[in-house]
Structure 1
């Protein structure tokens, strides 16, 4: 699952993208729980961002 967000505001839009992915994960979990009760959604993380007060950032892995 992946989400992208943009804003004319100066800060905080990365949280909107994280929230979008979380909601999609919960929706997938709800749809699949009949097949398996042990389904888990894990490792939600920010991969990169640009702009804002701290400038560009990208996860290094």
Structure 2
């Protein structure tokens, strides 16, 4: 009986995990509208701009970064 459970968990566990991950990834991609994608891209650009300004300030090459 122990061998059956061990085999079930060893083989079934990764298969179940893969199935859940595939479901979540597909569900996440399906629910994104063009507006959400544009908002995400704009927020990413702003974050990169803030991080670049902070890096320049820490290197002594620019004014202090603005905080929102």
Alignment TM-score, normalising by the size of structure 2: 0.36
Larger radius of gyration: 2
Higher relative contact order (Cα pairs below 8 Å, separated by 6+ residues):
1
| Greater share of residues in helix | 2
Q: Return the TM-score normalized by structure 1.
A: 0.39
Structure with the largest fraction of strand: 1
